Amino acid sequence: MRLPLKIASSPDPTSLNCTLAVPPDERSKAGSTRSNTTATAEASDGAQAYRLFKDVRPDLVIMDMTMPGIGGIETIRRIRQWDRGARILVFTMHQNAGFAVQAIRAGARGYVTKTSPPDALVRAVMDVLAGRIAISPDIDHELALSRLGGETIAADVLSAREFEVLQLLLAENTTEEIADALHISPKTVANLHSAIKDKLGVGSDIELVRLALRQGILTQADAGGPSP
């Protein structure tokens, strides 16, 4: 099974020979960086990733945005709440400025898409380990384009928690399922659902889906058909 997260740790975090976390299907891309890097733990979902992070205390986490359970945004938020110095690099298929904004807002230090050239991942790893923000060039371009339209951008107005709830709603999770995944009450989920629609200026869940399709938060395949 493909694991969406790997965690790496080094005996000497100050060394230039920093360890590297490599997603299993991208070993060849990152292999040219350091031969003495080690991956010390891996997780198949967000909750497990959070538990392992506390046990391993790695130098760097490379993770996907799409994970079972609590998902990428909430996982980033929890890790950063526990360790404000955590270095997290998102490496994902989501070539969407909104996801990048929310990931950085939640506490990630970098965002690289899997369609980027191999050296983009290498540079991002070194930048994040050096304490810098790293964004792949395609996302920089998407960020610029997203500001040209007049529509309210979900990533700009929603908090990290609201964006995570939006993703779970779009994935057709019930209020109770979302509450269980995020460890909050169903009433809180309902209040967040209402706040999301208010902030985005939509009056129904159908309009919410349409907006998500336009902004690339939801794909037509995810929605089960052509755009409304």
Q: Is the pLDDT of residue 117 over 80?
A: yes
**190 CB neighbour count, 10 Å cutoff:** 13
Which superfamily does 5-145 belong to? Response regulator (3.40.50.2300)
Helix axes 71-82, 97-106, angle to 10 degrees: 20
Please report, for the chain, the start and end positions of each structural domain, with discontinuous segments joined by +: 5-145, 154-223
Could you report the per-residue pLDDT of 203-218, keeping only the tens digit for each?
A: 889 889 888 888 878 7
Q: Is the pLDDT of residue 190 over 90?
A: yes
Write down the pLDDT at residue 221: 47
Mean pLDDT (whole number) for 97-103: 84
More confident residue, 116 or 34: 116
Write down the pLDDT at residue 138: 85
Query: In terms of pTM, does the model score above 0.75?
Result: no
Q: Which CATH number fits domain 154-223: 1.10.340.30, 2.60.40.10, 1.10.10.10, 3.40.47.10?
A: 1.10.10.10
Write down the pLDDT at residue 196: 96
Give start and end residues of each alpha helix (H) in the chain: 27-30, 46-56, 71-82, 97-106, 118-129, 137-146, 154-157, 160-170, 175-182, 186-200, 205-214, 220-223
35 pLDDT band, cuts 50/70/90, is very low
Distances (CA, A) of 169 to 111, 115, 163, 178, 193: 23, 27, 10, 8, 8
In this chain, the answer to whether the domains covering 5-145 and 154-223 adopt an identical fold is no
